[in-house]
Structure 1
């Protein structure tokens, strides 16, 4: 009986995978919108690829695979059976590069296919919202093919390509955080006006103070551990400039003229952006090849102080020993997961952010106007017959960038050396991250002053 139930469940899942997003709902799920379910489904594919990449880069995976008789080249063999698989490719940083290359190709294909889709009446919208089983097969096929790519210059070229795309994705993350803080602030202000005013305003004030306290504490720690009296000039400049920039945007956010044009603007958004800027600054400094200015987190926790500077040009890791679980990588992965989920369910009335993200002021996660069908099953509501609520093409482009950001995060932004057997930190990774923090602050500042600079345009 249990086997029959399992088979029927799998058959039901298969039919849903072949169908459209409405099939993804069950009777126990609240009704939601077709556009939301589709974004969640694509985000799930991205997260699935991320989990596979994490497993592939775990230390010791190659040794475990080599213990399988007849599998890896140079591993345990069975008499009469030759080992054919190069396990150096299917684990370590090379496997992460190929897995993320496959995901990037998958989402880039959809970026091209979905250009200028205006409504769900477009035939391409059916591809966007359905055929999930075939989409999964396409992703698997591209992934398998990616592992047949020879090393050559692929790893080095893909590293630089990933660095540029990650720069753009960091900006998108900051825009999403701005939008989240805006929605957060507006929601709590509305609740304060409708109910317990003191309680909700106290909560807003508490989180604002907490964000600024964490950002200020980070600045102090940066000066203590990531600078030296006679060295680390770049770090001193980075920390000081970002401190000044965060103070500037915080002041601008509460200027009377800015408040007149954007009443929902406030210190909560500025505090969250300041905290994110400090994270990006920290992440940049951890990629500095100069170990005197870049102590390991373990040495700081143990109170050993900065680690001594190693000889020039040493490898900081190999294809199977990269520790992606460094503190800054874990934080980066958590921020990525949050932004990916938020991008899938977001419903914003921030006109400027919507223009930047190419979305419309639309619907939330649940559909209140939906009702169960005759069979009692809830289905997603098609809310895009008159027009799409988000740009299909831009959404896939964001996931394309996210795939490469994950690749860089899991490999700690290390660069493969000429032999492609080892990885090293480089200063370009530092400048990419710092540059993205500056550009992100500039974009946030523009969202504040744009209505003042361009009074003739409608930003409502």
Structure 2
């Protein structure tokens, strides 16, 4: 009876995966990546819980003297709990990346399954972080700020690849339909929509961040971002670059406008920054999570293809996409020597985990209680 129950779980998973393979055209490798995406989503969910309700959750433990080896009142909750959680996720992905270089049989089995054990492992690492002095995470916070820049560049490359793929696929459909498909017109429509959103956001940025006469730096950054968008949109419409794409330039421009806005919302100068209360912080976090979710989902679902005359950004994105050869067996990753291909993916997920520590804490200045840009009273 017990043996039957042990087999029922894996059998159910295999049946569900088989349905997805046939209906959605996905592969076993995609399902593995989707599972890691779900784990990361769970981490984001608990990160928000720790950020907004961590104090209430940790109060019962304070009676036992449990204070995360720190003298700060919020050493176990708030932004400090988010740092500990994302650090645990990062350690897990780094471990998986290092093990993927070993080509061992046990890693192949562990990578393809053992999801309950993986969740237990991450939870155990997180519990261990509660015994690390909070001073360590002050250093980790500064480290994460610089590492997150690398992630944002890679995320930009993912959006470039996404936009090129989107444009190429719809252009092919248009050509195969003897130039009668409406999707080519939709490319111009969406490009226009993205540009309108960028322009509206830029105008609002001037309103939000340049109210005072001393906000010259903010005005320069907004204007510089707008100028860049106009320049590379103009370039994409000319023959200066062979593979110019209006859709790509509009998406990249929107992404740059977002980065400009996100950066200025962290400006400590309240005369130039109107995004300072708790409600604004929540909006920033939700928008950031949405953008990261699109990028991570694309990495998990997108099949890697050989692209001629690739740009540097597309080459960067290609290294972390799933490389699937339709002529190979679906159980390719059960073979020895294939696990090394997962190394870039795991390192990317580790970078994403570090960036989440900045995203969920608004780069270390999350304000959820309208208390002078601090998470909780100290």
- Identify the TM-score tier after normalising by the shorter chain: 0.7 to 0.9
Match of 1:401 among 343, 351, 354: 351
SS at match of 2:80: helix
| Separation of aligned partners in 2, 1:228 and 1:266 | 36
**Equivalent residues of 1:33, 1:382 under 8 A apart:** no
SS at match of 1:391: helix
Residue 335 of structure 1: aligned partner: 291
* Cα distance change of structure 1 residues 390 and 341 upon mapping to structure 2, 3 Å threshold: farther
Match of 1:40 among 18, 29, 34: 34
Residue 134 of structure 1: aligned partner: 117
Instruction: Determine if the alignment matches structure 1 residue 30 to structure 2 residue 24.
Output: no
TM-score using structure 1 length: 0.68
Instruction: Determine if the alignment matches structure 1 residue 62 to structure 2 residue 22.
Output: no
Match of 1:293 among 263, 268, 272: 272
Range with greater deviation from structure 2 (169-178 or 198-207): 198-207
**Equivalent residues of 1:348, 1:354 under 8 A apart:** no
Residue 61 of structure 2: aligned partner: 72
* Cα distance change of structure 1 residues 210 and 354 upon mapping to structure 2, 3 Å threshold: closer
Q: CA deviation at 1:109?
A: 1.4
| Separation of aligned partners in 2, 1:296 and 1:324 | 6
Give the structure with the larger helix fraction: 2
Instruction: Determine if the alignment matches structure 1 residue 160 to structure 2 residue 142.
Output: yes
Residue 356 of structure 1: aligned partner: 316
Instruction: Determine if the alignment matches structure 1 residue 326 to structure 2 residue 319.
Output: no
* Cα distance change of structure 1 residues 154 and 369 upon mapping to structure 2, 3 Å threshold: closer
| Separation of aligned partners in 2, 1:192 and 1:384 | 39
- Which of structures 1 and 2 has the bigger CA Rg? 1
Residue 107 of structure 1: aligned partner: 93
Give runs of aligned pairs for residues 192-341 of structure 1, distance below 5 A. Answer: 192-195=174-177, 197=180, 199-228=182-211, 230-259=213-242, 262=243, 265-296=244-275, 325-341=281-297
Residue 70 of structure 2: aligned partner: none
**Equivalent residues of 2:50, 2:77 under 8 A apart:** yes
Instruction: Determine if the alignment matches structure 1 residue 347 to structure 2 residue 303.
Output: yes
Q: CA deviation at 1:191?
A: 1.4
Q: State how many pairs are aligned.
A: 357
Q: CA deviation at 1:101?
A: 1.0
Instruction: Determine if the alignment matches structure 1 residue 178 to structure 2 residue 160.
Output: yes
**Equivalent residues of 1:282, 1:328 under 8 A apart:** no
- Gapped regions of structure 1 (runs ≥ 5): 75-82, 299-321, 371-379, 426-460
TM-score using structure 2 length: 0.82
| Separation of aligned partners in 1, 2:340 and 2:190 | 30
Q: CA deviation at 1:23?
A: 3.8
* Cα distance change of structure 1 residues 389 and 158 upon mapping to structure 2, 3 Å threshold: closer
| Separation of aligned partners in 1, 2:321 and 2:240 | 26
**Equivalent residues of 2:86, 2:356 under 8 A apart:** yes
| Separation of aligned partners in 1, 2:108 and 2:18 | 25
